[in-house]
Each structure stands twice: as C-alpha cells, then as structure tokens.
Amino acid sequence: MSHTIDKRFQTQCLDLLRFPLAVIILYIHIFNNASAIATDELTSGGEFLHFVDSIIKAFLSGQSVPIYFFISGYVFFWGGKLDVNIYLRKLRNRIHSLFIPYIVWNTVALLTILFFMLPWFASVNPLEQEPHFTLSSLLNTYWNSEKGVFATPELTGHIFPQNQAMWFLRDLMVLALLSPIIYFTIKHGKIYSIITFAILWLLTDYYSFHDFYFPFQGLFFFSWGSYMSINQRDLIADMGRVKVPGFMLYILLSIAHIVLQPHSPEATTIIKACNMWVGVIVAFNTAAILLNSGKCRVNRFLASSAIFIYLAQTMCAKYIFKALMILTGTDSGYIVVLITIVTLLLSLGLLLCLYHVMRRYTPSLLYIMIGRKE
C-alpha cells in the first residue's frame, strides 16, 4: 500500500498546518487573560466578552495541541519500524529538539517573571507570588509550578511547568521514552489499542485526577498518529473518506458545547474531547482542500517559525495584553476583545521579526532554543 501514498503531499499538509495552529494557540492564551476579567468589573460588553469566550472555547480551544501530538506520533514512526538503534537515535535527537528547549524556555519564563517583578513593572505584573528559592522548589519549577519557585495554585487540577506551554514538550519527552511500549502495543493490539487509549483519556479527562500525572491525552493522539505511520496508512486518503461527516460533526459538537456549557459542564468535557478527535480530521482535510485548490501554498518561513512562536509566545503576549489594558483603562468588554486582537497582531509581528533576526544573525543560538536547524 505504501507505494500509492503521496508522501510529498502529506508532508505539505503537515507543514501547512504548523503555522496556523501556532497562531490559534497564541490567540487562545491571549484571550484566556481577557476571559479572566470578571464581567462585574465591566460597565458594558460583559455579555459580548462571555459570548466570544464561549465561541473560542467551543471551536478553537484545545484543538491545536492534539493535532501537534498526532503529527509528532506520525513523524516519530515515519518508516513504520522501531528497533534498538532507531530508538536510541531518536532519543538522542529528542535531547536537542525537546529536552534542551524545554529547559531553556522554562528558565526564560522564570527569569521573565523575576524581571517583571522589579519595582518599575509592578503595575504590569502585580499578581505574581514572592519567589521561594530552594532546591526542591527550583526543580519543581521545571515540572510542577504549583510547588515551584512561584507556588501559585493551578485551579484546573493539571500539572504545568513554569512555562505552561511547555507541558506539550514535557509530555512528548515522556511519550518518546515510552515509544517501544507504544510500538509493541500498536503492532499487536492494532486498532483496539488506540480505542483503549481513547477510553483511558476520556475517563481521566472526565474525572480530572488531581496531583496525578500521566500524558493520557498525548498518549491517545500520539499513538493515533503512530498507528497511521506504523501501518503505512495513507493519511490524507483515510481522513478524506470521512471529510463531510467530520466537518458536520465538528460544527454540531461545537454548537452543543456552547449550548450545554452553562448547564452541564460535565457533559461539555466529553463533548470537547470528542471535538478534539474530530478536529484532527477537519484540520487535515482543510489543509488538503487548500493545497488541492491551488490557491494556497506552504510558506517555508512561516512553517518553520511555528515552533518558535509556540515556545516564545508566553514571554511577550501576556505582558503586551496587560500593558494595553493599563494604557486604555478600559472597562468595556467590546474594547477587551479588540485588545486581544491587537495583542495577537503585535505579538505575532514581534515574534516573527525576532525569529527572522535570529535566523539570520544568530542561527546557532536559535538552534539551541528551538532544537532544530533552520
């Protein structure tokens, strides 16, 4: 079957998705700051802010990272084989592409918080806790920030490092270590192993075990991508067979999320999980449609910048948003939504310019920070 697969087109679809997925994550993180503003502090537009928040949570939130997990699993097992030599080589590669950037960006996050705690920036960043520098807290900063240098409670019950966006890299490192088990399970359990991983993810997501870490969400999507690669499936053709049902189901699930969120948060947890799954199908079909139309091509600069945007976005977006809120002094939900859009444009422009400069003048430093040569 592998001889019928257009791997070049598959690669183009993967590359086309990288940049818009990073932009979506950037905007969601910006809007999370906006939605944290209590509506009773707004004199107008509170309902509009809440409505936009519900739209974003239903259609966009939680969609990008699962697709990244899927792509990572698909690429990890590119070729369909795994032996001791291949496994060790891949682990060595992940030291550069995952572990070193993980340490670098969590350290940058820690230093950034300390920098903005200086008296000159007190009004920009007034909510950070006083730092506690012990060996235990310093180590926890790179795994569980609740027990880190800034012991801030995480209300969601999830475990994040200091740079919250780095949970994706952390989980990928764990999955890379577990890849022989994943490979063995998929080879012998076939599609039933993926179904089992899906059930485990849904159960843990629904019951939200506190103070317990295992990358169940990542395991499912990484393993699903791995299954497609190990079995040499035609990714685009398989996704294309359920193109129309996928788009329809995605819209219906998103609407159901909006309607049920105020009344049944438990039900929306399952709805969102299902929408994450359908979102992978929708994403690849969208990429295929755009490429086949001839009106859209992969921009290599934007595709390669996606990882930098993902890694660096929490270093600037939050502070740009807070600064704009202070400068405008707004108490209108309409203006808050506008500020999120302006913050997105400013953050994206700043990050792309910085990436371009580093790519041109400090490629060695950029390689250390993002774990790959550009």
Residue 221: CB partners within 8 Å, gap ≥ 6? Answer: 66, 67, 69, 70, 73, 276, 280
Q: How far apart are CA 204 and CA 184, in angstroms?
A: 23
- Please list the residues that pair with 44 across neighbouring strands: 332
Q: Provide the sign of the torsion angle of the four alpha carbons 271, 165, 171, 284, taken in this order.
A: positive
Residue 346 has pLDDT above 60, yes or no: yes
* Higher per-residue pLDDT: 13 or 140: 13
CB under 8 Å, gap of 24 or more: what pairs does 294-298 form? Answer: 296/16, 298/12, 298/15, 298/16
Single-letter code of the amino acid located at 82: L
pLDDT tier, 135 (very low <50, low <70, confident <90, very high otherwise): confident
The residue assigned the tokens 């802010």 is: 49
Q: Which residues pair with 332 in a beta bridge?
A: 44
| Range(s) of the domain holding residue 259 | 2-370
Tens of pLDDT, residue by residue over 290-304, are: 999 988 899 999 999
Q: What is the per-residue pLDDT for 113?
A: 80
pLDDT band at 39 (very low <50, low <70, confident <90, very high): low
**If you count DSSP H runs as helices and E runs as strands, how many of each does the chain have, helices first?**
17, 0
Band (pLDDT 50/70/90 cuts) for residue 1 is very low
- Report DSSP state, residue 98: I
Spatial neighbors of 49 by CB under 8 A, at least 6 apart, are: 34, 35, 37, 39, 42, 333, 334, 336, 337
Is residue 374 predicted with pLDDT exceeding 80?
Answer: no
Overall domain count for the chain:
1
Query: pLDDT averaged over the chain?
Result: 89
The predicted structure's pLDDT at residue 164? 87
Query: What confidence tens digit (pLDDT) does each residue in 214-249 have?
Result: 899 999 999 999 999 999 999 999 999 999 999 999
Q: How confident is the model at residue 341 (pLDDT cuts 50, 70, 90)?
A: very high
Is-above-0.85 flag for pTM? yes
Nearest CA to 306 out of 64, 108, 94, 128 is that of: 64
132 CB contacts (<8 Å, ≥6 apart)? 149, 150, 151
The whole-angstrom separation of Cα 326 and Cα 161 is: 28
Give the confidence band of 3 by pLDDT, cuts at 50, 70, 90: very low
Work out the angle between the directed axes of helices 363-370 and 100-116 (0-180°, nearest 10): 100
Longest pairwise C-alpha distance within the chain? 64
Q: What is the mean pLDDT of residues 130-157?
A: 81
Taking the C-alpha atoms of 278, 279, 282 and 284 in order, what is their torsion angle to the nearest 10 degrees?
A: -110
Is residue 85's pLDDT more than 90?
A: yes
Give the number of residues written for the chain: 374
